[in-house]
Amino acid sequence: MNVSKDLEDLATYVLGLGSGHDLARAYFVGSGSEANEAALKMARQYFVEKGYMGRKHFVARRQAYHGNTLGAMTVSSNLARRVPYEDILMTDVSFVSPAYDYQYTREGETEGQFAARLVDEVEAEFKRIGPEKIVSLM
């Protein structure tokens, strides 16, 4: 068994599934928590390597769950899971409404109006923070 070769074969297969999307690399992790942690780090690293050191703020959706690692927990807003770690989580994070129309659509609001309201809220949050400071929307 050659694990390295098996992973290379798997990466080749996975990248082939995305034909037409110019996928060039695969990065395997062991869980969703690790995947979200890696996404946070890669997004930040991209801007650091571009010289945008001021981009360190993440915007996430309330009621989102991104995992159990400290980084993933930082962009999650489930209070029962966060509270014991609040004092050691990143602070450059803000939250916007969840994209869950079943629960959060206002009376008489259409799906299109709900979506437009969420887009407006994200745009307002980006403007409040300053788009030059935002790493990503999670």
Question: Three-state DSSP class for 94?
Answer: strand
**pLDDT at residue number 19:** 65
Global pTM reads: 0.84
Taking only the tens place, the pLDDT of each residue in 2-58 is 778 888 898 888 888 866 777 788 889 999 999 999 999 999 999 999 999 999 999
Locate 30 and state its tokens: 């062991």
Query: What are the helix (H) ranges across the chain?
Result: 3-17, 32-49, 70-74, 79-82, 101-104, 111-129
Cβ–Cβ < 8 Å for 85, 49:
no
Taking only the tens place, the pLDDT of each residue in 58-77 is 999 998 899 999 999 999 98
Question: Which of 48, 127, 63, 135 has its CA nearest to residue 92?
Answer: 135
Q: Taking the domains of the chain in order of start, what are their residue ranges? A: 1-30, 43-137
